[in-house]
Amino acid sequence: MKFNFIFKMSWKGSTNVLLSLDFEAAGWETMHQRDSKSFRKLKTIIFTGWLFAALPLFSSAETLLTEPEALKIVFPKSQSVETQVRTLAASQRDALQKKAGLRFPETEYRMFIGHGKEGVDGYAVIMNEIGKHEYITFIVGVSPKGEIRDVAVMDYRETRGWEVKEQRFLRQFRGKSLADPITVDRDIVNYTGATLSSHAIARGVKKALSLVQAFYLQPAGNKQP
C-alpha cells in the first residue's frame, strides 16, 4: 500500500496555519470495504507520529515590535536617541563572564543612549537569546543608575513559551540591578510551559545590565558619553 501525504501550509501574518492534510492510498476502496475502522486508526497513528516529529521544524515567528517602537518603550521621555557600536575588549569579556557567570560571545554590541534636557537619561541594548529552539529578540532599557527600566519582546519565534511576551512576566525585571540574582526560581517567577524562554529572558537582562555597566557606568575606564 502506498500513501501520499499532502501537507499544505499558509502564513497569515506570521502565524502558521494548518489548512489541510489529505491521505491517498492505492487499494483504499478495497481496504475501506474490508476494515474501515482499522484504516482510519492507521491514518491517525501515521499522522500523529509525523506531526510530533515535524513540529520542531515549524516555528511561529511573530514580530511584536519594530526597533523604533521598542526604543519608544524604553526611552519614553528622551528627546533623542543615539546609537553607538561598542567593542568588548578581551579583558572586559573575561571580567564580565567571571562576574556574571554568563557567556559574551560577540565582540561588538550596538548600544542605544537616550538624551534628555539634563543629559543622558538611559541606555538600552537589543538582545538575542536562544529559547528552546529559536532566538528570542528583546530590548532591555537601563536607567542611569544601572537599574532595569523596562523589557519588551520584539520578535518571538518559539512555538511555545509565549507567556514571556506578557507584562505579567516582564514587569518582574523592573528595578533590578546587578545586585540582584536575576535568576529564574530565585527572584524571577517561571511560568509553566515557558521555562527555557524564561531563562533566556533573564539571562539576556543580566547580560544587558553587565554591558551597560562595563561600557558606561563603571567608575574607571569608559565613562558616560
Q: Above 60 in pLDDT, residue 94?
A: yes
Average pLDDT estimate for 199-207: 97
> What mean pLDDT comes out for the span 128-153?
97
Average pLDDT estimate for 110-124: 97
Residue 62 phi, psi (nearest 5): -140, 120
Question: Is the pLDDT reported for residue 23 higher than 80?
Answer: no
The backbone torsions φ and ψ at residue 221, rounded to the nearest 5 degrees and listed phi first, read: 90, -130
Cell numbers linked to 98? 567571571
Give the pLDDT score at 30. 47
The DSSP symbol for 164 reads G
As a whole number, mean pLDDT of residues 83-99 equals: 94
Specify the higher pLDDT residue, 217 or 11.
Answer: 217
The interaxial angle of helices 90-100 and 195-212, nearest 10 deg, is 130
| Nearest residue to 25 (alpha-carbon basis) of 8, 42, 13 | 42
- State pLDDT tens for residues 25-67: 444 444 455 556 665 665 566 555 544 444 444 446 789 999 9
Q: Residue 204: which pLDDT band, with cuts at 50, 70 and 90?
A: very high
| Contact predicate 191/225, CB 8 Å | no
Pick 161 or 9 by higher pLDDT. Answer: 161
Sorted by where each begins, the domain ranges of the chain are 3-57, 62-217
Whether the pLDDT of residue 9 is over 60: the answer is: no
Q: Whole-angstrom Cα distance, residue 83 to residue 106?
A: 17
Phi-psi region of 38 (alpha: psi -120 to 50; beta: other; left: phi over 0): alpha
